[in-house]
């Protein structure tokens, strides 16, 4: 469940868990670093010649431009979206760099301006029907 991948059937599944008071810990909200500019998607090398990977790269570029316009990083947006569903009780974030811990905590506690979410919706980068962004824990 990520800002890039949040199909309605997955959202409905998380809804059913929340209805049963089962909290979800969300992990890999950056797709293995890809959303932050890395060369791997879900821990495999990205291939720009592959049509699906090409679409992912285009999505990432568009998302990063929107983030910059709203003075947020793709990391902040990914964490906020990953926390946005009421059934998500935490995100699992990891780093090998101790200096990044503060940034990670800030991302989990920070806010994302509504116009950023609106722009992502308008461009089709997130599902226009996803209902939880205005009340998200990170947003």
Helices (H) and strands (E) in the chain, counts: 5, 4
- The pTM for the full model equals 0.91
- Give the pLDDT score at 108: 86
The residue-averaged pLDDT of 70-97 equals 94
| pLDDT tens-place string over residues 5-21 | 999 999 999 999 999 99
pLDDT in tens, 15-48: 999 999 999 999 999 999 999 999 999 999 999 9
CA distances (Å), origin 84, targets 34, 51, 58, 77? 20, 29, 24, 10
pLDDT > 90 fraction of the chain, expressed in percent and rounded: 81
- 26/66 Cα distance (integer angstroms): 24
């Amino acid at each position: 469940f990520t800002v890039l991948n949040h199909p309605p059937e997955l959202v409905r599944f998380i809804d059913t868990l929340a209805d049963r008071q089962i909290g979800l810990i969300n992990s890999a909200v950056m797709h293995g670093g890809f959303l932050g500019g890395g060369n791997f998607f879900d821990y495999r090398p990205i291939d720009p010649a592959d049509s699906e990977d090409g679409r992912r790269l285009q999505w990432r570029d568009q998302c990063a431009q929107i983030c910059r316009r709203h003075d947020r990083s793709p990391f902040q947006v990914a964490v906020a979206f990953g926390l946005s569903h009421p059934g998500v009780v935490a995100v699992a974030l990891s780093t090998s760099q101790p200096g990044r811990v503060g940034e990670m905590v800030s991302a989990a506690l920070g806010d994302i301006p509504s116009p950023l979410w609106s722009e992502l919706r308008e461009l089709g980068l997130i599902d226009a029907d996803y209902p939880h962004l205005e009340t998200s824990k990170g947003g």
